[in-house]
């Protein structure tokens, strides 16, 4: 039971900061926050993503490219142009690393105001940090595992962020329903997104990229957005007003 709770905490904790900080803040900037709050978000993203930590800079730029080039050969991750799920994962990894290592030239429109904390990212993305987290996860499983099948959850803990990405960027362009017919294959995976905290409303998001709320219909409850509303209410962040004329941005 402890192992299941542990993996669920990693799943939803890592997912929240990927959606809240990396996606809605770094990539789309649907709200603002103080520099202190931004640094706290960096650290908490590292804490919950652990061995699969993603930098806000690399993720933010790559996701903007995904919106600009959806389902084309320039898309960093597209089922339409990648042979299979693993090929897409490898391409995503390569593009992400090339952005972080500045091995490719990126259009300035994709880098504008993307948050970056170079010294922290250097540590959090380092082999040293990842090995520490891997060692911690293995020790935790060794001590608390009560059944052999629970070890199946260890790779999930180790690869949490890439798994979250695959669910949306692969399955979210193949399966599900659409509220908006567009020139891309984005789909809503769930009528109520209990699994991905709102990220599963992928078709809605591609239509209204600058909206903090990914849900549109009454049953499409966006759990991440509800937390964002609370953080906005207590003053930790400030939501930006939605401009309909700018919905196509990224």
pLDDT tens for 175-207 read 999 999 999 999 999 999 999 999 999 999 999
Residue in 143, 166, 86 with CA at minimum distance from that of residue 151:
143
Q: What is the pLDDT of residues 52-86, one digit of tens each?
A: 999 999 999 999 999 999 999 999 999 998 889 99
Q: What is the pLDDT of residues 102-155, one digit of tens each?
A: 898 999 999 999 999 999 999 999 999 999 999 999 999 999 999 999 999 999
**Coil vs helix vs strand at 238:** strand
Residue 18 CA to residue 151 CA, distance in Å, equals: 25
Residue 237 CA to residue 242 CA, distance in Å, equals: 15
Q: What's the Cα-to-Cα distance from 9 to each of 3, 15, 113, 135, rounded to whole Å? A: 10, 10, 30, 18
Q: What angle do CA 190, 191, 196 make, to 5 degrees?
A: 40
| 57 touches 99 (CB < 8 A) | yes
Residue 107 CA to residue 61 CA, distance in Å, equals: 9
Residue 118 CA to residue 126 CA, distance in Å, equals: 12
pTM: 0.93
pLDDT reading at 245 higher than 50 = no
Radius of gyration over every alpha carbon of the chain, rounded to an integer in angstroms:
18
Q: What angle do CA 130, 131, 132 make, to 5 degrees?
A: 90
Residue in 177, 182, 189 with CA at minimum distance from that of residue 222:
189
């Amino acid at each position: 039971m402890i192992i299941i709770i542990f993996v669920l905490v990693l799943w939803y904790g890592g997912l929240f900061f990927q959606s809240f900080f990396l996606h809605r803040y770094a990539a789309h900037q649907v709200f603002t926050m103080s520099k202190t709050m931004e640094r706290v978000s960096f650290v908490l993203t590292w804490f919950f993503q652990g061995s699969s930590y993603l930098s806000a800079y690399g993720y933010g730029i790559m996701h903007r490219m995904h919106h600009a080039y959806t389902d084309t050969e320039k898309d960093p991750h597209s089922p339409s142009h990648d042979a299979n799920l693993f090929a897409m994962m490898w391409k995503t990894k390569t593009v992400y690393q090339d952005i972080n290592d500045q091995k490719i030239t990126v259009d300035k429109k994709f880098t504008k105001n993307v948050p970056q904390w170079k010294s922290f990212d250097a540590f959090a993305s380092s082999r040293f940090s990842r090995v520490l987290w891997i060692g911690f996860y293995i020790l935790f499983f060794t001590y608390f595992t009560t059944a052999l099948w629970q070890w199946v959850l260890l790779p999930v803990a180790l690869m949490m962020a890439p798994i979250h990405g695959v669910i949306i960027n692969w399955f979210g362009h193949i399966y599900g329903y659409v509220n908006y017919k567009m020139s891309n294959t984005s789909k809503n995976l769930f009528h109520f997104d209990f699994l991905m905290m709102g990220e599963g409303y992928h078709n809605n998001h591609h239509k209204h990229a600058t909206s903090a709320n990914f849900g549109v219909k009454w049953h499409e409850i966006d759990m991440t957005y509800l937390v964002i509303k609370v953080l906005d209410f207590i003053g930790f962040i400030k939501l930006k007003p939605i401009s309909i004329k700018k919905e196509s941005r990224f």
